[in-house]
Amino acid sequence: MTTTSPVEKAGGATATYVDQRIGSNKFLSRNLGKVFPEHWSFMLGEIALYSFIVVLLTGVFLTLWFKPSMVEVIYDGSYVPLQGVKMSEAYASSLDISFDIRGGLLLRQMHHWSALIFIAAMAVHMFRVFFTGAFRKPREFNWIIGIVLTTLGLLAGFSGYSLPDDLLSGTGLQIARGIMQAAPIVGTWAAFLLFDGEFPGTEFISRLYGVHILLIPGIILALVTVHLMLVWTQKHTQFPGPGRTNDNVVGYPLLPIYMAKAGGFFFVVFGIIALVGGLVTVNPIWIFGPYTPDQVSAGSQPDWYIGFLDGALRVMPNIESVIFGWTISWNIMIPAMILPGILFTAAGLYPFIEAWVTGDKREHNLLDRPRNAPTRTAFGMMAIVFYALLWVGGANDIIAVAFDLSINSIIWFLRVALFVVPPIVFVVTRRTCLSLQRRDREKLLHGYESGRILRLPHGEFIEVHQPLSVKDMAVITSKTDHVALPAPEKADADGVRNKHYRWQMMRHRLSSFFYGQNIPQPSMAEIEAGQHHAAHDAELEAPLHDYEDADELRRAHGGVLHHPGMAETNTEQIEQDRSQH
């Protein structure tokens, strides 16, 4: 505050002007110094946000040239192979954007790439939130918003790649229409209304356009805003570490650190999307040609995020029933309506299911390490593997060609694997988590295995155990022992029958299953004893470090204690660093 530049003066005056009208300084006082914790995985959500901004930005540019019309025109642009070909105005204008508008292809490819990244980032962000238990109280609403955003992201992506009206996008729409028609009772009517009659009609692209550029992005934008406001007011969760508790946030303040880091990261994401958009071709619509309902190219693949649905459609056996003259297409309804319905609903409800099973009503601001919630982690892995198998199904033709396999055997493998592999993954993940918990317990009880063998003066060999660092200690001891809900009594002391017995019993069983075999955390006394023991080991080893000819000694004995010249303490390290400069 020693000097105030004219710009700052003007800024201050503006702040006062605005403050007098909307009271903004109250907000600034609370928030300019707001602390955010740091972890690389917290950037995943940022990537989703920033790529969404790039999608919006590039999308606005594309609307300036794209014509959402299915009126037939003769192409006369500069892409020679298609000159003179009859096509829809939508496809022709997409070609113009790609070949006749300078930078148009860049915008189109940036739009497509950022959309792909947007959805991928949302998915991985969701994994992070799931596996660390960040969805727990008080953040359940934000989890649901996130699930809705992911769903809308899929719809936005699908509606987008259906617009250019090339052969691939039209095929996608044809499949969507086929699925729609399979819906019981309303299917044909819904399809006829949406397409203004039969497929492909002349109206659908202009209708879809409004949905793609206004309706879906509008809802996404509104929900993203709420999502961020909730993150803001609830404060970000943090990973366990020294000084980090459930009641504080340890990290860096918004101003200046996150202003620079997050702001800078926006430009990094934006810049990388621009580079990729310039250097890597995506969706080369000019190769596919204009859409016509009687042609298709082999190896048709949807964008990655639709792959699991396409895979489900491929893997499903061909069951159809006709009841009282009405057709029920199980082969389409199950994979394309019921399955995604169950997947997204289960995902959305998960926080409530887990809270009900565990009976946990506390606020959780400190994240779980995935190993400390083995059942949740195992569920998550199971879901991911199930999804991945469907995805493999979506690529079965590509896989069949690449690995010289029969498509039929891939499908049969998947039909079985979808039911067999996820449970195996569940068990393996849970056991792995429990093993990691045991290892943590070992570390607390005996210190960290240094791998150094020490021979004591009386001839005994010991392996030196080191006390845990402050950070490791804080991270490992962050685990809390959860107790399963108690088993209910059939009747109370007075012999009154417990009406809710079966219900409570189920909850007790589920909760025991959830917390089941968790490895108990050692008591503070045990930990201290263990660390003390490790400290004792280190003490035995200490004279070696002080020994004048220690270097000599180490070299003579194979020298694994320390590399000569390597700093042995933090202070030494800092001093070394200093002297190097």
Which of 332, 444 has the CB closer to another protein?
Answer: 332
Restricted to residues 57-76, the positions that interact with another protein (CB under 8 A) are 70-72
Per-residue contact flags (x/-) with another protein for residues 314 to 353, judged by CB under 8 A = xxxxxxx-x--xxxxx-xx--x------------------
Residue 298 binds another protein, judged by CB under 8 A: yes
Per-residue contact flags (x/-) with another protein for residues 453 to 492, judged by CB under 8 A = -----------------xx---------------------
Decide if 295 contacts 171 (C-beta within 8 A).
no
Query: Residue written as tokens 């550029």?
Result: 213
Residue 525 binds another protein, judged by CB under 8 A: no
Residue 189 binds another protein, judged by CB under 8 A: yes
Q: Is the dihedral of CA 327, 332, 335, 337 positive or negative?
A: negative
Q: Is the dihedral of CA 100, 106, 112, 115 positive or negative?
A: negative
Residue 178 binds another protein, judged by CB under 8 A: yes
Decide if 94 contacts 82 (C-beta within 8 A).
no
Q: Select from 39, 45, 395, 438 the least CA-distant residue to 230.
A: 45
Per-residue contact flags (x/-) with another protein for residues 237 to 256, judged by CB under 8 A = -----xxx-xxxxxxxx--x
Per-residue contact flags (x/-) with another protein for residues 153 to 172, judged by CB under 8 A = ------------------x-
**What is the nearest approach in angstroms of another protein to the Cβ of residue 8?**
10
Taking the CB of residue 54, how many other CB atoms lie within 10 A of it?
24
Taking the CB of residue 47, how many other CB atoms lie within 10 A of it?
21
Encoding tokens for residue 508? 């007790």
Residue 193 binds another protein, judged by CB under 8 A: yes
**What is the nearest approach in angstroms of another protein to the Cβ of residue 437?**
25
**What is the nearest approach in angstroms of another protein to the Cβ of residue 81?**
13
**What is the nearest approach in angstroms of another protein to the Cβ of residue 305?**
17
Which of 70, 92 has the CB closer to another protein?
Answer: 70
Q: Which stretch binds another protein (CB under 8 A): 220-228, 262-270, 353-361, 544-552?
A: 262-270
**What is the nearest approach in angstroms of another protein to the Cβ of residue 260?**
4
* DSSP element (H, E) containing 451: strand 448-455
Q: Name the maximum alpha-carbon separation found in the chain.
A: 96
**What is the nearest approach in angstroms of another protein to the Cβ of residue 129?**
18
Which of 155, 411 has the CB closer to another protein?
Answer: 411
DSSP state of 366: B
Encoding tokens for residue 329? 């297409």
Q: Select from 383, 353, 454 the least CA-distant residue to 131.
A: 383
Cα-Cα end-to-end distance for the chain: 32
Rg for the chain (alpha carbons), in Å?
Answer: 30
Residue 33 binds another protein, judged by CB under 8 A: yes
Cis peptide leading into 256, omega within 30 of 0? yes
Count of chain residues binding another protein (CB under 8 A) = 131
The C-alpha atoms of residue 316 and residue 342 are separated, in whole angstroms, by: 16
**What is the nearest approach in angstroms of another protein to the Cβ of residue 257?**
6
